[in-house]
A and B are shown apart, each in its own frame.
Chain A
Amino acid sequence: MRSTRRLEEMEATASSVVPDAPPVVTLECVDLVKNFGGVRAVDGVSLSFEAGKVTALVGPNGAGKTTLFHLLTGSIKPDSGAILYRGSPIQGLPPWTVAQMGIGRLFQDVRIFPNLTVLENVLVARPIQRGERALVSLFAPRVVVKEEADSTDRASEWLDRVGLSEHADQPAQALSYGQQKLLAIARLLAAGSDVLLLDEPTAGVNPMLIKRLLTIIRDLSGGGRTVVLIEHNVNVVLDVADWVYFLDEGQVAAFGLPQEVLSDPVVRGLYLGLRA
């Protein structure tokens, strides 16, 4: 009960702070529930994410944050509840269809293609390639050559954007962990994702690369994309997030501006391990 009231209070404060144009909600979920055996990992969660904003999901381990990303991207199916992308329900669609609609994801464990080169990793991500059809690749090589030249130009631009151009021809597994995260982001950009779900983008990344990452994240949301990040680093949340959801035990415990949520005594107690 207490947490619900808190949420309402937070929302009230939040809306009074933002006087600008009405927000465009791109991705939202309503009363989402997911059980694993006897464990209720996600327990009636409703969230909404706006275009041009960075929304952070914070909370202790096991709060259900990554499970939410699994649900939002179609990797697992919810037991009940709805997921809406620009107003249309997408729950139950397979992950590739969700991705084709424009919802991209950075995995916690990065998941680059280790045996492909850095450039190939980005090339693969480009949507709708005629050369990816077996029969076209077999019988219409010219179409493929032209398309490839175009794809390569664009992929190089994305690599340039994340600062990995000089590594283009190396196998991706030769990159450092932080560079692999940048590569995974370049891949999302090449895929043309409109909503970016980033699962701990800064974890295990050295401070130099974190700076570069945060600049990219800010640019992306500034350019109108919807960015959602799961983040444990409080400074990162305060730095880039516009909104914060605090999750605990599969429920939304608080929502609001970063300073408010992170200075909330209950949140500090649960999440930061400080006495309320």
Chain B
Amino acid sequence: MNYLWHILVMISIYAILAASLNLVTGYSGLLSLCHAAFYGIGAYVTTLLMMRAGFGFLPAMALGAALTALISLAIAIPSLRLRGDYFVLATLGFQVIIFGVLYNWVSLTQGPYGIPGIPIPVILGIPVDTVFRYALLSGALAVACLVMIRAVARSPFGRLLRAVRDDEIAAAALGKNVPRIKITVFALGAAFAAVPGALFAGYMRFIDPTSFTLAEAIFILSIVVIGGAGSLAGPVLGAAFMVLLPEALRFLQMPDAVAANMRQIIYGLLLVVLMRFRPQGFLGKYGFE
């Protein structure tokens, strides 16, 4: 049974990651390769606030989200003047820098050794100390985040994002401050990405920089693309699919060494086939130009 709850925790984490990236990439058309950096910043800030400042899990997470949004401005403000491909490269650079900081700022992050012994989250006096309880916590946070992201997407702000995505010159000519809109959605996406970071840290009770690499950022982006950019249910379906796929392979009785490689091959093939025949993903409305 614990196995199923574990899968639910992982799906919740990736669903929030994909849904928050979807605000940035799907709705606003800003292809970003640094979402794992925000995920990692959320995880480290929450962990450090809990372990060094004695914060509870939820306040640490909330503060982590706010700080992650603030740090996202450091990339957003200089990079949003860049167009298209150059913006993507800037986010890639930021991802690499954050990984480098987490890896090398040993006095704060313990670098490659990682941080063990992260305390068990306690919510309303109840320790979340079983996988079942953790599945409830992460499921509840995922639902809360998805409801909020849906509210944003369906609001006039969400409409504005889609307008900027369609034609930013026309949006500016209608009096819309396009750079400010992009910076806002980037910060919002970063804040939401910090939540699964906190969940991951509290669940594993150990974090190190290898969970927050460029490969992870690409993985999150591929969930958005496969699920369907610009749709509300797409990222959830994509997350479920991408988490369940390796689990399904496990039941094929494949040796572990083969399964890991098999998984990479299947992911790759899937992306190629999807881009050829259904560029908008399973549930998405728009393809990538």
A residues with a Cβ closer than 8 A to B are 73, 75, 94-97, 99-100, 104-105, 107, 111-116, 120-121, 123-125, 127, 129, 131-134, 136-138, 141, 144, 147-148, 151, 187, 191
Smallest beta-carbon distance B111→chain A, Å: 35
Check A107 against B178 for contact (C-beta < 8 Å). no
Q: Which residues of A contact B178 (CB under 8 A)?
A: 96
Check A191 against B175 for contact (C-beta < 8 Å). yes
Check A112 against B170 for contact (C-beta < 8 Å). yes
Smallest beta-carbon distance A41→chain B, Å: 19
Check A138 against B163 for contact (C-beta < 8 Å). no
Closest 9 CB pairs of A and B: A137-B155, A131-B156, A99-B175, A111-B170, A113-B166, A100-B175, A137-B157, A95-B172, A124-B163
Check B172 against A96 for contact (C-beta < 8 Å). yes
Q: Which residues of B contact A131 (CB under 8 A)?
A: 155-157
Chain A residue, CB-CB nearest to B181: A132
The yes or no answer to B148 lying at the interface (CB within 8 A) is yes
Check B156 against A99 for contact (C-beta < 8 Å). no
Q: Which of B235-289 contact A (CB under 8 A)?
A: 285-286
Residue among B166, B175, B176, B185 with most chain A CB within 10 A: B175
Q: Which residues of A contact B159 (CB under 8 A)?
A: 116, 120, 123-124
Q: Which residues of A contact B157 (CB under 8 A)?
A: 131-134, 136-137
Number of interface residues of B (CB under 8 A): 29
- Give Cα A248 to B165, complex, Å: 36
Partner of A191, one of B151, B160, B174, B185: B174
Partner of B166, one of A116, A134, A148: A116
The yes or no answer to B188 lying at the interface (CB within 8 A) is yes
In the complex with contacts A115-B162, A124-B160, A144-B155 CB distance below 8 A = yes
Binary per-residue interface labels of chain B (164-193) against chain A in the complex, 1 for a CB within 8 Å, 0 otherwise: 011101111111111000001100100000
- Give Cα A95 to B184, complex, Å: 19
Q: Which residues of A contact B176 (CB under 8 A)?
A: 96, 99, 124, 132
Check A115 against B285 for contact (C-beta < 8 Å). yes
- Give Cα A29 to B37, complex, Å: 48
The yes or no answer to B120 lying at the interface (CB within 8 A) is no
The yes or no answer to B136 lying at the interface (CB within 8 A) is no
Q: Which residues of A contact B170 (CB under 8 A)?
A: 107, 111-113
The yes or no answer to B93 lying at the interface (CB within 8 A) is no
Residue among A125, A133, A134 with most chain B CB within 10 A: A134
Q: Which residues of B contact A95 (CB under 8 A)?
A: 169, 172-173
What are 6 A-B contacts defined by CB distance under 8 Å? A95-B173, A104-B174, A112-B167, A113-B167, A144-B156, A148-B156
The yes or no answer to B152 lying at the interface (CB within 8 A) is yes
The yes or no answer to B158 lying at the interface (CB within 8 A) is yes
- Give Cα A166 to B143, complex, Å: 37
- Give Cα A127 to B176, complex, Å: 8
Q: Which residues of A contact B174 (CB under 8 A)?
A: 96, 99, 104, 124-125, 187, 191
Smallest beta-carbon distance A101→chain B, Å: 9
Residue among A114, A127, A137 with most chain B CB within 10 A: A137
Chain A residue, CB-CB nearest to B177: A96
Q: Which residues of A contact B173 (CB under 8 A)?
A: 73, 75, 95-96, 99, 104-105, 107, 111
Q: Which residues of B contact A127 (CB under 8 A)?
A: 175
Partner of B163, one of A99, A113, A141: A113
In the complex with contacts A113-B163, A113-B166, A94-B156 CB distance below 8 A = no
Check A138 against B151 for contact (C-beta < 8 Å). yes
Q: Which residues of A contact B185 (CB under 8 A)?
A: 134
Chain B residue, CB-CB nearest to A124: B163
Known: A113-B166, A114-B167, A144-B155. 10 other contacts (CB 8 A): A75-B172, A75-B173, A96-B178, A111-B167, A120-B159, A134-B188, A137-B156, A138-B148, A138-B151, A141-B155
Q: Which residues of B contact A137 (CB under 8 A)?
A: 151-152, 155-158
Smallest beta-carbon distance B168→chain A, Å: 10
- Give Cα A125 to B285, complex, Å: 23
Smallest beta-carbon distance A99→chain B, Å: 4
Chain B residue, CB-CB nearest to A148: B156
Q: Which residues of A contact B156 (CB under 8 A)?
A: 123-124, 129, 131-132, 137, 144, 147-148, 151
- Give Cα A252 to B188, complex, Å: 49
Q: Which residues of B contact A112 (CB under 8 A)?
A: 167, 170
